[in-house]
Amino acid sequence: MANNTEQKWQIIAKKKKDEQYSRLPTEWLLNSSPSPDVRTYIDIPRKSGILSQEELRITEEFDATALAEAIRRKELKCVDVTKAFCKRAAIAHQLTNCLTEILFDEALSRAKELDAHLAAGKSPLGPLHGVPVSLKDTFKIKGYDASIGIAALAFNPATENSVLVDALLKAGAVLYCKTNVPQTLMALDSHNNTFGRTLNPFNTLVTAGGSSGGEGALLGMRGSVLGVGTDVGGSIRIPAMCNGTLGLKPSWQRISYAGQEGGTLPAIAKLGIPASAGPLAHSARDIELFFKALAEQKSWEQDPDVLPSPWNTLSSTSGRKLRIGVVRRDGVIEPHPPIARLLDEVASKMRHAGIEVVEMDITPIFSQCQSLANSLFGIEGGNAMFDLLESANEPLSPWLSTRLRRKEPLSLEKVRQLHAKKTELQTKFLKIWKDATGQEIDALITPVAPHPVPPIDRWNGVSYTSSFVLLDYPAGTVPVRFFERADMQGELPNTKPLGSWDKANRELWNNVDRETYLGTPLCVQVVAPKLEERKLCEAMAAIETAIKGTGKGPASKL
């Protein structure tokens, strides 16, 4: 019986967690929780005794591309692959609290149907035939909640699928779980009152990121081989960085975003900055597999926002030498010493791999992006979200409680002025894609963040990620290596901070025990011109190949 002093949201949250727990098979439950002094959970699935040797092989030695090929050749069965990832996701969830909706039974039934389809001599449904795919909780799957951690949205199952969900099913994917997000989707650490906090499996002292933090943690634990998140300020790229995976935010009209739950009014994002849906994965070729598979499904026939653009019609860098720019700073927040050195490392590896590297200083215009993006994020004043929270007497989570409040929506004239400024900036940025000699620059690398993966609830500014949403440039994250003791060296200049964001960033280096960062992934961001996702995938693949020359990438630790 409920305690009479409990608020409505607390009662709902308990019921939701009970429902979630009931969907975990008892034989997949861990015997005990890790000791509080255990900082990394990465090895626990392997040692748990729950996964067979074959299931360990399936979840650790294949990327999505290799799994799809093995299934097509009938070297692996869809049901065995699905069961392996369901089991590993269950283990990952018990350790990191990364899941929301659990669809294991439905996934195993679909996998059996997909096996029967191939056994009957029929061609695969699509490029993702039998590949398990996890989804951020915002996506709607018929029969399951898309509560995004908000009590008022719980126990209200979707009556139809998001457009992207239908496209993934048509491509042959097996959908088996949805993943955790921050309350309001406006934080960079995934905590909400309904499901709780998601932990970083590499280092529990630091954030798993947000808002696709559950996706990041699940992939970091190898509980997913291919996931889908969303990004409007860095919400794919930041969790990818935090958990050592690749992730890509496309231009907003590339992949369908329709039919998702965001806790906002319909079409409100089009008055500000539209979000994008995109993949998180373990290899650059899996990122491209995702885009190829979705392009084949012609989502533009169901979603008017998606541009009709088959993958092979997009520009390619094939057959010529890549030219990649290095953008070291944004003029708003100065990177920490290890981040600055990381760009040097990657630039050196690119040169060694035959990529032409071009140093770029775009701070005069880069520095104008963050404040404008922040203004456009807030045009509605957050009122729809506050209405939802207040309907169940739900408070803001602690981190948001001092940062978020109701505001008056901006006037039409103010919104017009902001968009005029955005257009002006986008026009200026067009010039960065050619150097002084008029030669084309294919892509650029820059930090994902000016700091390493920070302690829980300590993520600083998002200027390095939100700027490319404002500009509508596709941008991805590529893991390089892990933070080591040598990375603790170096000091920031003893000069006046560039501003309040820079001041806070300095505290993450000067006033945090730098040992906290040990074992956390270090990544770079790769950016391409608007709607040039194919070119971006090729640049990410080339950089990934250049980095792997050392064998020190995050994947080597899994």
pLDDT in tens, 250-280: 999 999 999 999 999 999 999 999 999 999 9
pLDDT at 3: 59
- State how far the Cα of 363 lies from the Cα of 261, in Å rounded to an integer: 36
pLDDT in tens, 120-145: 999 999 999 999 999 999 999 999 99
Q: Which residues of 76-148 form beta strands (DSSP E)?
A: 99-102, 132-136
Known binding-site positions for substrate: 185, 211, 232-235
pLDDT at 544: 98
Give the DSSP H or E segment for 164. Answer: helix 163-170
Instruction: Report, as an integer, the average pLDDT of 425-453.
Output: 97
- State how far the Cα of 347 lies from the Cα of 282, in Å rounded to an integer: 22
pLDDT at 249: 98
Catalytic residue among 211, 299, 375, 463: 211
Residue 396 pLDDT grade (very low, low, confident, very high; cuts 50, 70, 90): very high
Look at residue 77 and tell me whether its pLDDT is greater than 50. Answer: yes
Tally the C-alpha atoms within 13 A of residue 387's C-alpha that lie toward its C-beta: 8
- State how far the Cα of 242 lies from the Cα of 214, in Å rounded to an integer: 11
- Is 276 catalytic? The answer is no
- State how far the Cα of 403 lies from the Cα of 397, in Å rounded to an integer: 10
Look at residue 475 and tell me whether its pLDDT is greater than 70. Answer: yes
Catalytic residue among 136, 178, 292, 422: 136
Strand order in the sheet with 174-179: 99-102, 174-179, 132-136, 226-231, 276-281, 246-249, 475-482, 521-527, 443-447, 323-327, 356-360
pLDDT in tens, 189-203: 999 999 999 999 999
Domain borders along the chain are: 8-34+45-557
- Is 391 catalytic? The answer is no
Q: At a CB cut-off of 8 Å and minimum separation 6, what does 249 contact?
A: 231, 234, 236, 237, 276, 278, 468, 469, 474, 475, 476
Q: Check if the beta carbon of residue 423 is closer than 8 Å to that of residue 376.
A: no
Instruction: Report, as an integer, the average pLDDT of 342-357.
Output: 98
Residue in this structure with the two tokens 């970091």, named with its chain if needed: 220
Q: Quote the tokens at residue 273.
A: 């900055």
pLDDT at 558: 40
Alpha carbon distance, N-terminus to C-terminus of the chain: 44
Structure-model confidence comparison of residues 317 and 464, the more confident one: 464
Look at residue 551 and tell me whether its pLDDT is greater than 50. Answer: no
Catalytic residue among 235, 283, 375, 397: 235
Backbone angles phi, psi at 372, to 5 degrees: -70, -40
Q: Quote the tokens at residue 226.
A: 């291919």
H helices present in 299-396, as ranges: 337-352, 363-366, 369-377, 383-391
Residue in this structure with the two tokens 């941008």, named with its chain if needed: 475
- Is 52 catalytic? The answer is no
DSSP 3-state of 215: helix
Chain CA centroid to CA 332, Å: 23
**CA of 166: how far to CAs of 239, 367, 523, in Å?**
25, 40, 32
Structure-model confidence comparison of residues 386 and 460, the more confident one: 386
DSSP 517: G
Give the DSSP H or E segment for 87. Answer: helix 78-96
Q: Which residues of 137-187 form beta strands (DSSP E)?
A: 174-179
- Please state, for a pLDDT cut of 90, what percent of the chain lies above it: 95
Q: At a CB cut-off of 8 Å and minimum separation 6, what does 493 contact?
A: 334
Chain CA centroid to CA 441, Å: 26
Task: Indicate if the alpha-carbon torsion angle 515, 520, 524, 525 is positive or negative.
Answer: negative
pTM above 0.95, yes or no: yes
Look at residue 552 and tell me whether its pLDDT is greater than 60. Answer: no
**What is the dotted CATH code of the domain comprising 8-34+45-557?**
3.90.1300.10
Backbone angles phi, psi at 323, to 5 degrees: -120, 115
Among 381, 139, 170, residue whose Cα is nearest residue 262: 139
Q: Quote the tokens at residue 101.
A: 């909706």
Instruction: Report, as an integer, the average pLDDT of 227-254.
Output: 98
Residue 318 pLDDT grade (very low, low, confident, very high; cuts 50, 70, 90): confident
- State how far the Cα of 236 lies from the Cα of 242, in Å rounded to an integer: 10
Known binding-site positions: 185, 211, 232-235
Q: For strand 276-281 and strand 356-360, is the pairing parallel, antiparallel, or unpaired?
A: unpaired
pLDDT in tens, 487-500: 999 999 999 999 99
Look at residue 83 and tell me whether its pLDDT is greater than 60. Answer: yes
pLDDT at 549: 79
